[in-house]
Structure 1
Amino acid sequence: MLQVIKRIVKEEQGNTLFFGAISLMVILFIAGLALDGSLLYMKKSQLQKEANAAVLSGAQELTTTEQKVTGTVQTILNAHKDTTAMSKLDIKMGEKVALTLTKPVNLTFARLFGIEKVNVKARAASGLNAIGKSIGAAPLGIDESISLQYYKEYKLKVDSSDSISGNFGVLALGGPGAKTYEQNLRDGYQSEIRINDIINTETGNIAGKTRDVINQRVNGCSQPPGDYSLRQCSRIILVLVYKPYNYTSGQMKQIQVTGFAYFYITTPMSTNDTSITGVFIKRAGEGTYVEGAKDRGAYSIRLTE
């Protein structure tokens, strides 16, 4: 009887050692998987951020040239030291840019099973949408009924008369007065404007104030006239697209914002000028998409994938 008891005890001790060893192996296996899994997750998250940054930057050039889009995307990847990660780049000018990145990741635990590395992938796409709200607009507007032809010369009237092609309004952003108007024309109105906002118009002739600021803007841009690609050019102003809202006593009292447009000032104003000469351009800039905004070439950028 005593021998039977001793044999059972010995078998239980052996079983305990065996199952203990198995349990330790399972724990080590799970820990190894967690280690490699965490590494892969971290690398994929990092790659996704790089892809997002690249397409958001590249989308700024979707209104210029495909070469500029590609160059901007590559510049962002170079900054992250991932020059070889780009495996696919799709560009549809005027619409979107999509990027796929692939990068090999060296594993640690999986090497025990013959798996030395795994490729992680990240995909991102960014597109253009008409700006529906923005900060920095100039106190000028264009009636939405006027058909725009991009890169064709227009004259924005800044006195109390109308232009031949329609009413180009001078707007009282943030309040009336020549001083407020001048500051907004120079620096852009620093409060948000969005579609459907009702804006008062500025009355009277303020051509003199306009000349000073416009000529400063023309002289402040280093790029050659006619090159619209420079991101920071003081010749470019954001103007409001509107529809008449309150027209009484032969005068436009208020307008309703329906969209935004970019205007490039082509020439300085002379002492006799009562209008700003320039062209409307397509451009991606600061702003946010709002459903219902009129597409007049001023675009916001957002991730679509």
Structure 2
Amino acid sequence: MVILLSATGFAIDMGRIVIDRAKLSNALDYAALAGAQELPDDPEAAKAEARAYLVDNGIDPTLISINISEDRKTIELKGTKELQFTFIRIMGFEKTNVVGSSKVILGAVKSVKGGLRPFAVEDFDYSYGTVITLKQEGGDGYHGNYGVVALGGTGSGNYESNALYGYKGEIAIGDEIQTEPGNMANVSNALKEYINSIPDTFNNFNRDSKRLWTVPLVDSLAENGRGTVVVTGFAEVFVESIQKKSGKIEINARFIRFVLNGEIDQTVEDRGTYGIKLVN
């Protein structure tokens, strides 16, 4: 009977090791994913966010090391959690440490599903944080112009829905999309009122701010009327203001670095819009 009870107790405590190891691994994964949202701009905020998730999941953050790579595109957590045995203390074993680790990398997104705005930006080397004036008519030969593009359909109704709420479908690098000609003044008015009613500023906004837009980068905007352009990447902008000048819409925005929910491709050129991936 004593042997049977000892064997049962041993099995229970060994099972607890497996369960606690899984819990630690999951907590580290969630903490790493949370911290990665703050990269590459703010590694200290990334560490703070990861520690907060550890605490929420019952993990002592002082037992976890958090390392961020020099290029600020990798966050790795390693650590232990102490487990007090219940049954096999009688065999001389009081406690053990379960070990876990998690690594998350950032990479340029190769596709965006949901939320893409119907304003294509001609691909160029831009500076983060600089105010860019995006004018309505595209293809006049200087960088920063944008053109309206048809995502999932054509016409003012589709354009208005995509402009206000983002396209619900998926667009990937290499896809061909059509430009959307026409002034669409009524949509421009609704968009201006919507954005200008949001009080966020560039120095004070959250990740869910409605002033944050994901836009497609394209190979060229030298199209007259409806034409086809090729998606070369994606950019994230903070919209500072929308105005109408000479009957045409003008958007003042700043390009920012931002983490999206998107599939990554390490071979794609870094444009500051990232997806994240667990690589344990």
- What's the TM-score once normalised by structure 2's chain length? 0.88
Note if contact 2:137-2:145 (Cα within 8 Å) is conserved in structure 1: no
Aligned pair in 2 of structure 1 residues 192, 86: CA closer, same or farther (>3 Å)?
A: farther
Partner of residue 243 from structure 1, selected from 215, 219, 226? 219
Aligned Cα RMSD in Å? 2.5
Identify unmatched segments of 5+ residues in structure 2: none
> Which deviates the most, 225-234 or 179-188?
225-234
- 1 CA distance for matches of 2:66 and 2:77? 5
Alpha-carbon distance in structure 1 between the residues aligned to 2:62 and 2:21: 12
Partner residue, 2:131: 153
Deviation at 1:254, TM superposition (A): 0.7
| Paired residues, number | 277
Is contact 2:110–2:262 with CA below 8 Å preserved after alignment? yes
Q: Structure 1: where are the runs of 5+ without partners?
A: 1-20
Contact 1:133 1:290 (8 Å CA) reproduced: no
- Do the aligned residues in 2 keep the contact of 1:207 with 1:275 (CA within 8 Å)? no
Q: Offset of 1:109 from its aligned partner?
A: 3.4
How many Å separate the matches in 2 of 1:208 and 1:163? 27
Q: Which amino acid aligns with 1:237?
A: W
Give, in whole Å, the separation in 2 of the partners of 1:143 and 1:292. Answer: 20
Match of 2:118 among 106, 118, 139: 139
The question of whether the paired residues in 1 share the 8 Å contact of 2:65 and 2:78 is answered with yes
**How many Å apart are 1:158 and its aligned residue?**
2.1
Q: Does 1:280 align with 2:252?
A: no
Give the CA deviation at 1:251: 5.3
Whether the 8 Å contact between 1:244 and 1:252 is mirrored in structure 2 is: no
Give the 3-state SS of the residue equivalent to 1:302 in structure 2: strand
Does structure 2 conserve the Cα–Cα contact (< 8 Å) formed by 1:139 and 1:189? yes
**Aligned counterparts of 1:88 and 1:57: Cα–Cα separation in 2:** 15
The answer to whether the 8 A contact 1:238-1:261 is kept is yes
Give me the whole-angstrom Cα distance separating, in 2, the residues matched to 1:217 and 1:124. 39
For residues 83-122 of structure 1, the C-alpha deviation after alignment (integer angstroms, 9 at most, x for no partner) is 4464211123631211123211011333123210001121
Q: Which has the higher helix share?
A: 1
The structural deviation recorded for 1:252 is 6.5
CA distance in 2, matches of 1:33, 1:47: 21
User: 1:259 corresponds to which residue?
Assistant: 233
Q: Larger C-alpha radius of gyration, 1 or 2?
A: 1
Q: Which aligned pairs between 1:150-229 and structure 2 lie closer than 5 A?
A: 150-159=128-137, 162=140, 164-165=142-143, 167-206=145-184, 208-220=186-198, 222-223=199-200, 225-227=201-203
> In structure 2, the residue corresponding to 1:150 is in which secondary structure?
coil
Looking at structure 2, the residues matched to 98 and 291 of structure 1 have their Cα atoms a distance apart, in angstroms, of: 18
Q: Which segment is superposed worse, 267-276 or 70-79?
A: 267-276
Residue 234 in 1 paired to residue 213 in 2?
A: no
Q: Could you tell me how far apart the structure 1 residues matched to 2:31 and 2:225 are?
A: 48
Among all aligned residue pairs of Structure 1 and Structure 2, give the percentage whose two residues are the same amino acid.
Answer: 27
Amino acid at match of 1:287: G
SS, match of residue 12 in structure 2: helix
Cα distance between partner residues in 2 of 1:167 and 1:181 = 18
Q: Deviations over 1:208-246 (max 9, x none)?
A: 5234314412422x43x222651111111000012249x
